[in-house]
């Protein structure tokens, strides 16, 4: 299960997916849980009037879910021309191979075994334009996709529709994650991004506020971890018990990954981290070792 969700920031009505913009529709996968919220958001993107569709994150290997995606595409008189993955966690990518068999569409992502994508790549499918935005941190292969016509950023697990995301150490790195959040914040400041279409949970209209909350949350958690260690917490489990006492125990395993990422960050950046904007001034986290 993708370590995506730690703690909610506000009460919201249940998210059911559906049409979100003129070009983006969410088909919600049937995998709800503490880590996936209402389920994985599979995004169907299509330029109005086109007959070609881009699908982002086909989700877990669930034949009924994949058929719902195909039925939606058929209802619009279109075909799947391209499948994109925001990252490789099973709840986003497990069905990619099967979906490729069903659609004949290529699968593109960051990493071996795919038609690799790179930061700032531009994709055009049936008139729909997407820009690739590298946003590592949750995982090393995390990508976001900018739907340029609508200033909408599909963020996978980098930013969620509710709560905050986990840094999935050792593959995920806190230094990289903070830099990715700062990059998205700059995009919101320039109005290049005005809405977020996440990998779990509802869309995010107040993008500037949510991204700032994510950065502030990471800074607060980092200080809490630093304080717990100073108070004698001897290992990651002890830190989790001290820092995440208000979080349901069912997500403590995911919280432990973030704690390991934070301990690694503090080990490599002993004099930084009190200000999230200082990230990047020290040596980059390696992702190995506690």
For the chain, the domains span 18-207, 219-274
Cα distances (Å, whole numbers) of residue 2 to 23, 33, 149, 195, 275: 27, 10, 30, 23, 28
The pLDDT score that the predictor gives to residue 289 is 22
Mean pLDDT, all residues of the chain = 89
**pLDDT band per the 50, 70, 90 thresholds, residue 272:** low
Do the Cβ atoms of 36 and 2 come closer than 8 Å? yes
Distances (CA, A) of 224 to 68, 166, 286: 44, 16, 22
Mean pLDDT on 268-274: 70
Give the model's pLDDT for residue 113: 62
Q: CA separation (Å) from 223 to 10, 276, 277?
A: 22, 11, 14
Query: Mean pLDDT throughout 268-285?
Result: 49
How confident is the model at residue 1, as a pLDDT?
Answer: 37
Distance between CA atoms of residues 29 and 144, nearest Å: 19
| Residue indicated by tokens 């569709």 | 53
pLDDT band at 31 (very low <50, low <70, confident <90, very high): very high
Q: Is the pLDDT score of 222 beyond 70?
A: yes
3-state secondary structure of 91: helix
What is the Cα–Cα distance from 45 to 147, expressed in whole angstroms? Answer: 9
Q: Are 22 and 150 in contact (CB under 8 A)?
A: yes
Flag the least confident range among 100-114, 125-139, 188-202.
Answer: 100-114
How far apart CA 271 and CA 103 sit, in angstroms, is 51
Q: Which of 29, 83, 79 is nearest to 59 (CA)?
A: 29
Give the architecture (CATH level 2) of 18-207.
Answer: 4-Layer Sandwich (3.60)
Asked if pLDDT for residue 9 goes beyond 90, the answer is no
């Amino acid at each position: 299960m993708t370590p995506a969700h730690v703690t909610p920031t506000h009460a919201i009505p249940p998210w059911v997916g559906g049409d979100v913009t003129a070009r983006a529709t969410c088909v919600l996968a049937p995998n709800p849980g503490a880590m996936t919220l209402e389920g994985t958001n599979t995004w169907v993107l299509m330029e109005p009037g086109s007959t070609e569709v881009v699908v982002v994150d086909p989700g877990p290997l669930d034949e009924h879910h994949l058929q719902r995606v195909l039925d939606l595409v058929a209802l619009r008189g279109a075909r799947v021309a391209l499948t994109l993955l925001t990252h490789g966690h099973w709840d986003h990518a497990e069905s990619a191979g099967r979906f490729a068999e069903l659609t004949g569409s290529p699968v593109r992502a960051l990493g071996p075994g795919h038609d690799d994508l790179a930061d700032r790549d531009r994709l055009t499918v049936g008139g729909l334009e997407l820009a690739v935005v590298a946003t590592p941190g949750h995982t090393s292969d995390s990508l976001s996709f900018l739907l340029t016509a609508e200033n909408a950023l599909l963020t996978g697990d980098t930013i969620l529709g509710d709560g905050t995301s986990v840094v999935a150490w050792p593959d995920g790195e806190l230094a990289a994650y903070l830099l990715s959040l700062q990059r998205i914040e700059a995009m919101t400041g320039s109005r290049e991004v005005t809405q977020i279409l996440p990998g779990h949970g509802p869309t995010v209209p107040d993008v500037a506020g949510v991204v700032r909350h994510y950065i502030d949350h990471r800074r607060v958690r980092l200080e809490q971890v630093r304080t717990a260690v100073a108070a004698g917490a001897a290992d990651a489990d002890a830190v989790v018990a001290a820092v995440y006492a208000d979080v349901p125990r069912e997500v403590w395993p995911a919280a432990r990954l973030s704690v390991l990422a934070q301990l690694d960050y503090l080990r490599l950046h002993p004099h930084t981290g009190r200000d999230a904007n200082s990230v990047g001034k020290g040596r980059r986290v390696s992702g190995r070792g506690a």
